[in-house]
Amino acid sequence: MKKTIVFAAVATMLFVQCEEEKDPFAITNGAIGPLTQKTQMKQLDSIYANDSIVKLNPITGAIETQGEVEIYDSEGAKLLLLSPYDESDPNSKIANVQIFDSRFKTEKGLTKASTFKDVKANYQIAAIENAINSVVVFLKGTDLYLTIDKKELPEDVRYNFNQKIEASQIPDTATFKYFMVGWDAGEAIEIQEGDI
């Protein structure tokens, strides 16, 4: 009887440990691998202790991670660009994540290497914004948004910045210029000047 109880306890512990081990490349609502909407910039040093963190705009005298940072794995591959709500506050949470590595994927298999055909097959489109050099596609019920270069669109829709662009006007073969997650907590997602 005691052996059965001990076995059951060990099996339960192993099951709980397996559940706690999270796929470091999974994209879900509110999380990307070990990052969540609640992750603070100052926590990145411990989360990515085995990887490299490159501070893009180092703040003089800062003792913790502040401002935008890029994450590289131990092999030197660029994984992510993390942008905080407040660049000067190490307690700031992450607002936007740009995904560079194709190993990051959603439950439906969408990655940086996917095409617009994959988007249409697996997601509903919430909105499409027409920008100067690109279109931004927001996916319904997710934190994801994609930027597609207008060079990938038919010529008749490339140059009219006021034209409403429909999903049917984006070719199935269109790839993503930017593959992004926005945790803007209901705020409008800001597109930086260099991104469009």
Q: Which domain holds residue 138?
A: 107-185
- The pLDDT assigned to 196 comes to 40
Maximum CA pair distance of the chain? 77
Q: Count CB-CB contacts under 10 A for residue 103.
A: 16
How many domains is the chain partitioned into structurally?
Answer: 1
- The pLDDT assigned to 62 comes to 63
Q: Residue 72 falls within a domain, yes or no?
A: no
- The closest of 138, 185, 139, 195 to 36, measured between CA atoms, is 185
Q: Residue 50 falls within a domain, yes or no?
A: no
- The closest of 180, 105, 192 to 147, measured between CA atoms, is 180
- The pLDDT assigned to 8 comes to 47
Work out the burial of residue 73: count CB atoms within 10 Å of its CB; fewer than 13 is exposed, 13-18 middle, 19 or more buried. Answer: middle
Q: Residue 131 falls within a domain, yes or no?
A: yes
Q: Count CB-CB contacts under 10 A for residue 137.
A: 23
Q: Residue 45 falls within a domain, yes or no?
A: no
Report d(CA 116, CA 8) in Å as an integer: 48
Q: Residue 133 falls within a domain, yes or no?
A: yes
Q: Residue 117 falls within a domain, yes or no?
A: yes
Q: Residue 28 falls within a domain, yes or no?
A: no
- The closest of 122, 62, 72 to 92, measured between CA atoms, is 62
Q: Residue 112 falls within a domain, yes or no?
A: yes
- The pLDDT assigned to 6 comes to 46
- The pLDDT assigned to 59 comes to 67
Blockwise average pLDDT, block size 10, the chain, 196 residues? 50 47 90 94 92 82 78 95 90 95 96 97 95 94 95 88 91 97 60 41
- The pLDDT assigned to 57 comes to 77
Pair 138, 126: CB distance under 8 Å: yes
pTM: 0.80
- The pLDDT assigned to 56 comes to 86
